Structure 1
Amino acid sequence: MTPAVHQVHLLRSPMEGVYGVDLYSTRTFGRHWHESFGFGVMEEGGHRSASGRGLVEALAGQVVTSNPGEVHDGTPLGQVPRRWRMVHIEPSAMASLVGQSGQELTRPVLHDPLLYRSIRRLLLRWGAPSDNSDQSLQPLWEESLAQVCGELVQAYGNRPMATAGRRPLDRVRECLLDQMQNPPSLAELAIQNGLSRFQLVRQFSMAYGLPPFAWLQQHRLRKAHRLISGGAPLSEAAFACGFADQSHLNRHFVRCFGFTPGQWKRHCGVPPQ
């Protein structure tokens, strides 16, 4: 049996709303999403994912992508470690680089050798995970980032991001977000919206890709992600986002992002409290 391995390095960016992740792992990730666009290269092994665009497999030498809010998971092919490196870029940063917004990347796995080389060039210019001290490299890095984002949107961003069909459940979504620390029960939500619990779970899953409380858990994690990067102590971030304690936040944070809250805090340059 292949021993379990999980190594992760965060790549700090000189541009707000952008960061990179370098992963070498046998770990299986549960269903989750990111608020950012994601694109990167599969460098070793293979990866299977049930994404918002169907079941896909990515192999070494291919490009992988994800859209903001797209629910996906991930497991290694053959239970052997795979290495992939991803760039995460918030929609506003993507729009500022390519001059347009409201696009969706249409294919989750790309066999595009030219784009693959462009992304690897960007990652090479990024430098070592902990080294962003050479300011002379920033223009080359930003140029590479703009080039890659432009190539992606031009070749694979040819339809607007889907938003239709979600309005009937807006009240459920807003209620969960407004009461993140102590949300209503599933039965209470169902009664408030004139649905059975089964109907609520089914309709919400169809609209948002996850059942209501799994969806809320993702938003709790994203809020914790933002609070920690803003300097909040880990225990305070856990409480503010409705987690029972710091260890509870830690377990779910690693399951979603692949790195711990403490690693994210250090990556963001937040001094220890």
Structure 2
Amino acid sequence: MKANPSRTRIWRSQYLPSIELVHGVSKIHSLPRHFHEELELGIRQGDGWQFNYRGATYSVPPNTLVVTQPGEAHHADCASDRDCTYRGLQIGVDLLQQVATEVAGRKTALPFFSMPLVYDRDLNTQIVQVHQALEQPISQLEQQTLMGDLLAQLILRCAENPPCQAKLGEERQPVDRVRIYIEDHYDREISLEQLAQVANLSSFHLNRSFSKTFGMPPHAYQIQVRILQAKRLLRKEWSIEQVAFETGFASQSHFGSHFKRLVCVTPRQYIQDSKNVIDFDV
């Protein structure tokens, strides 16, 4: 993306080293013919664009996912009279291979995506939401869980000859061990790989089993446990800044947004309202 480089950002997360992310805002999106060593996923929001790939030119509608195989040359052009947003992810082949193997429950070939354009609205929405989440200071566990689930859905919905998912069994004891581990270490950065080792399951299988058993994925359970502890500390008149740090949130604003989402009031409101004790004997 050459136009307006001051409004283009490229970054990697320390918790997702195999993934490079791109976020750009511009009227013109123009790239010469090139290729990547990773699988490339890209969505342009606001206007369509032209994509040349495998000897064909595609007119890509806005909000449509474009999937480019590693090593395949392509180029893109778009000119619009308004600012449009481009979101891209470049996925390392080792990670893609790992997720495909975990989905199948056995060693499997690197997924191949024969169709470059994906018109799956739910999947395209999921990609945008994950990309937006990765722009925020979310936990290691949340980053890895969101990305793992996204890649699994991409493989299952879009790959040629997708693998069959390994069946879920009765994993109550393994996921209970994970639940206890999260509760005992709620204030720490925990990786999905650590939890998989606790359960002796693959990361993908753990995420599915935990969600089936407890109604939410491990990262959401971690956030819930952190908020419950935060409520206890706020009632003890700890400062909001102290509570955010003590419960493992990356920042006070990050803590506040999760608290408001789950409790329906801000931490400051909660401090005030928790003082309202009704004496029914009066």
Which residue of structure 1 aligns with residue 9 of structure 2?
9
The alpha carbon displacement at 1:79 in A equals 6.7
Residues 20 and 91 in structure 2, CA contact (< 8 A), matched pair in contact too? yes
SS across alignment from 1:103:
coil
**Would you say how many aligned residue pairs link Structure 1 and Structure 2?**
151
Q: Deviations over 1:61-103 (max 9, x none)?
A: 2111111011100100557553210111111111112214322
- Structure 1 Cα separation of the partners of residues 116 and 81 of structure 2: 21
Which residue of structure 2 aligns with residue 97 of structure 1?
99
Which residue of structure 2 aligns with residue 235 of structure 1?
none
Amino acid at match of 2:129: R
Amino acid at match of 1:43: Q
Amino acid at match of 2:155: V
Find the structure with the greater CA-based Rg.
2
1:142 to 141, 144, 159: 144
Which residue of structure 2 aligns with residue 24 of structure 1?
25
Amino acid at match of 2:21: G
Structure 1 gap segments, 5+ residues each: 161-273
Q: Deviations over 1:115-145 (max 9, x none)?
A: 01211221122024xxx5x5xx221221121
Q: Do the aligned partners of residues 79 and 65 (structure 1) sit closer, same or farther apart at CA in structure 2, a change above 3 Å counting? A: farther
Question: Structure 1 length as normaliser, TM-score?
Answer: 0.50
Please show how residues 1-273 of structure 1 align to structure 2 within 5 Å.
Answer: 5-6=4-5, 7-13=7-13, 14-25=15-26, 26-52=28-54, 54-78=56-80, 81-99=83-101, 100-128=108-136, 132=137, 134=138, 137-158=139-160
**What root-mean-square deviation, in Å, do the aligned CA atoms of Structure 1 and Structure 2 show?**
2.2
Residues 35 and 71 in structure 2, CA contact (< 8 A), matched pair in contact too? yes
Which residue of structure 2 aligns with residue 194 of structure 1?
none
Residues 96 and 110 in structure 2, CA contact (< 8 A), matched pair in contact too? no
Which residue of structure 2 aligns with residue 191 of structure 1?
none
Identity across matched positions, percent: 17
Residues 53 and 107 in structure 1, CA contact (< 8 A), matched pair in contact too? no
Q: Deviations over 1:241-266 (max 9, x none)?
A: xxxxxxxxxxxxxxxxxxxxxxxxxx
| Greater than 3 Å deviation, 4+ residue runs | 77-82
- Structure 1 Cα separation of the partners of residues 8 and 45 of structure 2: 14
Question: Structure 2 length as normaliser, TM-score?
Answer: 0.49
The alpha carbon displacement at 1:11 in A equals 3.1
- Structure 1 Cα separation of the partners of residues 85 and 109 of structure 2: 30
Residues 37 and 67 in structure 1, CA contact (< 8 A), matched pair in contact too? yes
Residues 62 and 111 in structure 1, CA contact (< 8 A), matched pair in contact too? yes
Amino acid at match of 2:4: V
SS across alignment from 1:28:
strand
- Structure 2 Cα separation of the partners of residues 70 and 82 of structure 1: 25
Q: Do the aligned partners of residues 53 and 101 (structure 1) sit closer, same or farther apart at CA in structure 2, a change above 3 Å counting? A: farther
SS across alignment from 2:17:
coil
Q: Do the aligned partners of residues 53 and 118 (structure 1) sit closer, same or farther apart at CA in structure 2, a change above 3 Å counting? A: farther
- Structure 2 Cα separation of the partners of residues 148 and 59 of structure 1: 21
Q: Deviations over 1:163-188 (max 9, x none)?
A: xxxxxxxxxxxxxxxxxxxxxxxxxx
